[in-house]
Amino acid sequence: MDITIILGIVLMLYIAWSIGANDAANPTSCIVGSGVLDIGRALIIFSTFVFLGSVLQGWMVMKTFGGGITEIKSIYDAIVATLATGVWITLASYSGIPISTTHSAVGGVLGVGLTYMLLYGYTSIRYDVLLRVIISWITSPLSSILLTFILYKLLIKFYRLLVVKGLNPDKVFKYLAISSLAFSAYSFGANDVGNSTGVYVTIIRVSGYIVGGIDIVVAVILAVIGALGIVLGGFTLGTKVITTVAFKITRLDLISGVAAALSNSLVVWLFTTVPYIIFGYGMPISTTHAAVSAIIGVGLFKSKSRLINKSTILNIVSSWLLTVPLTALIALGLRILIHNILNV
């Protein structure tokens, strides 16, 4: 059991680190790109509020790794899915490309399900989960772009109103930008730390050491460990992804930066809350897709595509479409290799 616990913690830390390396860009890029804060200061605020969100609320969310797209039957399945997910996120982060860490986990677990289909003709793959991921590829970016357009127009009017009233609009917008960063980081910690703790819970569960839920003390400890991993990821490879999203898509100023930041936060909140009220469950949405699409949208409306870096956008969108199939193929290859070597 001691070895299993250590393995679970190590893999959890790796996933938490990789999540921080890629997703730290989501709350910070607009603030950095608009010149409100440099990357170092933005990451300090990000880390502070991620930690607060994880410790105060993150322990409440113990997610199923991979969104429950298929059943994880053994510790080998859990290890393979985790490694496939982490490897792809690490490669993308090293290249400075923002991807969906949630979709990466879905692909990793999907690859395990495909292995059972190929080897035994048996599968428990939930195609409804996969369909929701595919739908989010369309709904998340389009919603974010549309809301950014609306907010950008409103914020221009608000900026002019502040000038008319004799107030300092730049100062007001800087406060708005920093507040948006703090709120997004807190929400990120409260929700997404569950993606890393889910790795530990899955490994312990398939090993037979727990049957029910996690003790509250253990849950808080796991949330703290996950938060530390996310923070470390943000301060290491996270700077590469932040640089791409903040500076290589389009030029941001105060108004466009705040518009994109607010759009990102609202889209994620609306897709989580409104469907839950109507249908009883929130619609899964990629925070990365929402954040990047908001910046693309504000660039389109502000400059009429003259200052949009089309090659950067093409690379990003291509990586979004490749995330699920690539992580699935990595997991499939690893799981078949383990099966051939260990016959398990």
Q: Provide the mean pLDDT of the chain.
A: 89
Q: How far apart are CA 181 and CA 162, in angstroms?
A: 22
The residue assigned the tokens 């300092």 is 168
Q: Do the domain assignments include residue 342?
A: no
Question: Alpha helices of the chain — where are they, by DSSP H?
Answer: 2-23, 25-33, 39-56, 75-94, 101-120, 127-164, 169-206, 216-235, 238-247, 254-279, 287-303, 310-342
pLDDT tens readout for residues 93-140:
999 999 999 899 999 999 999 999 998 888 788 888 888 888 878 888
> What confidence score (pLDDT) does residue 30 get?
94
> What confidence score (pLDDT) does residue 12 get?
94
> What confidence score (pLDDT) does residue 40 get?
96
**In the 8-state DSSP scheme, what is residue 135?**
H
**Region 174-202 average pLDDT:** 88
With vertex at residue 198, the alpha carbon angle to CA 48 and CA 131, rounded to the nearest 5 degrees, is 105
- Whether residue 305 is predicted with pLDDT greater than 60 in this model: the reply is no
> What confidence score (pLDDT) does residue 3 get?
86
Q: Do the domain assignments include residue 262?
A: yes
Is the torsion defined by CA of 269, 271, 275, 280 positive or negative? negative
The domain total for the chain is 1
Q: How far apart are CA 308 and CA 97, in angstroms?
A: 16
Give the closest residue to 110 by CA, choosing from 343, 342, 323: 323
Q: Do the domain assignments include residue 132?
A: yes
Q: How far apart are CA 221 and CA 265, in angstroms?
A: 27
> What confidence score (pLDDT) does residue 62 get?
67
> What confidence score (pLDDT) does residue 188 get?
85
Residue 114 CB neighbour total at 10 angstroms: 19
Q: Which two tokens stand for residue 34?
A: 């608009």
Least confident window among 6-15, 234-243, 260-269 = 260-269
pLDDT band for position 283 (cuts 50, 70, 90): low
Least confident window among 112-126, 177-191, 210-224, 289-303 = 210-224
Q: Do the domain assignments include residue 24?
A: yes
**Region 30-50 average pLDDT:** 96
- Of 62 and 186, more confident: 186
Provide the CB-side half-sphere exposure for 213 (13 A, CA).
Answer: 9
For the chain, percent of residues with pLDDT exceeding 70? 94
Q: Do the domain assignments include residue 343?
A: no
Provide the 3-class DSSP secondary structure of residue 3: helix
pLDDT tens readout for residues 205-256:
888 776 666 778 888 899 999 999 999 999 999 999 999 999 999 999 999 9
**CA dist list (Å): 137 to 99, 284, 287, 295:** 11, 11, 11, 16
Q: Do the domain assignments include residue 63?
A: yes
> What confidence score (pLDDT) does residue 38 get?
96
> What confidence score (pLDDT) does residue 329 get?
97
> What confidence score (pLDDT) does residue 193 get?
86
> What confidence score (pLDDT) does residue 240 get?
96
- Of 97 and 280, more confident: 97
pLDDT band for position 272 (cuts 50, 70, 90): low
**CA dist list (Å): 121 to 116, 124, 334, 343:** 7, 10, 18, 17
- Whether residue 282 is predicted with pLDDT greater than 60 in this model: the reply is no
Burial of 197 from C-beta contacts in 10 A (0-12 / 13-18 / 19+):
buried
Q: Do the domain assignments include residue 344?
A: no
**Region 67-92 average pLDDT:** 92
Q: Do the domain assignments include residue 341?
A: no
For the chain, percent of residues with pLDDT exceeding 90? 59
216 is in which domain, residue-wise? 2-336
**CA dist list (Å): 342 to 42, 56, 66:** 47, 42, 25
> What confidence score (pLDDT) does residue 275 get?
66
Q: Which two tokens stand for residue 5?
A: 């616990």
**Region 138-154 average pLDDT:** 90
**Region 4-24 average pLDDT:** 94
Please state the φ and ψ torsions of residue 37, each to the nearest 5 degrees.
-135, 155
Provide the CB-side half-sphere exposure for 285 (13 A, CA).
Answer: 29
> What confidence score (pLDDT) does residue 280 get?
61
Q: Are 330 and 108 in contact (CB under 8 A)?
A: yes
Cα end-to-end distance, the chain, whole Å: 20
pLDDT tens readout for residues 193-213:
888 888 888 888 888 776 666
Buried b / exposed e over 90-108, threshold 16 CB at 10 Å, is bebbeebbbbbbbbbbbbb
**In the 8-state DSSP scheme, what is residue 238?**
H
> What confidence score (pLDDT) does residue 126 get?
87
